[in-house]
Structure 1
Amino acid sequence: MLVYLLRRSAILLVSVLLASAVLFVLLRLLPGDPANALVSVGADAEQIEAARRQVGSNLPLLQQFLHFLANIAVFDFGVSFVSGAPVLGEIGGRLMVTLPLTLAAFAGSILIAVPIGILAAVRQRTWYGALISIVSQLGIAVPAFWIGILLVTLFAVNLQLFPSGGFPDDGWTAPAESIQALILPVLTITLVMSASLIRYVRSATEDILSSDYLRTARALGATLSGALVRHGIRNGAVPVISILGIELASTLLGAVVIERVFALPGLGSMLLLGIEQRDYPNVQGVLVVSTLLVLIVGFLADVLQRLVDPRLRERVTGGAS
Structure 2
Amino acid sequence: MLAYVLRRLAILILSLLIAAVVLFVLLRLLPGDPANALLSVGADQQQIEAAREQVGSNLPLWEQFLRFVGSLARFDLGTSFVSGKPVIEEIAARLTVTVPLALVGFGLAVMIAVPLGIVSAVKANRWYGAAISTVSQLGIAIPVFWVGILLVTVFAVNLRLFPSGGYPRRGWQNEGQVLYALALPVLTIGLVMAASLIRYIRSATQDVLGSDYLRTARALGASFSQALIRHGIRNGAVPIVSILGIELATTLLGAVVVERVFALPGLGSMLLLAIEQRDYPNVQGVLFISTLLVLLIGFAADLLQRLIDPRLRERATGAAP
The answer to whether the superposition gives a TM-score over 0.5 is yes
Q: How does 1:49-68 map to 2 (within 5 A)?
A: 49-68=49-68
Distance 2:56 2:113 in 1: 49
Deviations 1:153-184 (A, max 9, x none): 10011111111101000000000000000000
Counterpart AA for 2:97: V
Inter-partner Cα distance in structure 2 for 1:65 and 1:234 = 46
How far apart in 2 are the matches of 1:117 and 1:307?
23
User: Which amino acid in structure 1 is aligned with residue 193 of structure 2?
Assistant: M
Partner of 2:209: 209
Q: CA deviation at 1:91?
A: 0.4
* 1:267-312, Cα deviation, whole Å (9 max, x unpaired): 0000000011111111111111011100100100001000000000
Partner of 2:113: 113
Q: CA deviation at 1:320?
A: 10
Q: Which residue of 1 aligns with 2:165?
A: 165
Report the counterpart of residue 276 of structure 1 in structure 2.
Answer: 276
- Residue 261 (structure 1) aligned with residue 293 (structure 2): no
TM-score when normalising by structure 2:
0.98
Shift of 1:319: 6.7
The offset of 1:132, in angstroms, is 0.6
Partners of 1:53 and 1:320 in 2: CA distance: 58
Check the 8 A contact 1:113/1:197 in 2, yes or no.
Answer: yes
Cα RMSD for the two superposed structures: 1.1
Aligned residue pair count: 321
Runs of 4+ in 1 over 4 A off after TM superposition: none
What is aligned with 1:221?
221
Deviations 1:1-56 (A, max 9, x none): 10110000000000000011111111111111100000111111111111011001
Alpha-carbon distance in structure 1 between the residues aligned to 2:319 and 2:38: 54
Alignment of 1:283-302 (within 5 A): 283-302=283-302
Amino acid at match of 2:35: A
Q: In the alignment, is residue 34 of structure 1 matched against residue 34 of structure 2?
A: yes
Q: What amino acid is aligned across from residue 284 of structure 2 in structure 1? A: Q
Aligned residues of 1:3 and 1:320 also touching (Cα < 8 A): no
Aligned residues: percent identity?
A: 72
Deviations 1:118-146 (A, max 9, x none): 00000001111110111000000000000
Q: Which amino acid aligns with 1:37?
A: A
Determine the C-alpha separation between the residues in 1 that align with 2:179 and 2:295. Answer: 28
Take 1:183 and 1:277, find their aligned partners in 2: how far apart are those partners? Answer: 30
TM-score normalized with structure 1 length: 0.98
Distance 2:65 2:319 in 1: 36
Quick one: distance in 2 between partners of 1:70 and 1:187? 41
Unaligned runs of 5+ in 2: none
Contact 2:311 2:320 in 1 (8 A): no
In the alignment, which residue of structure 1 is the partner of 2:104? 104
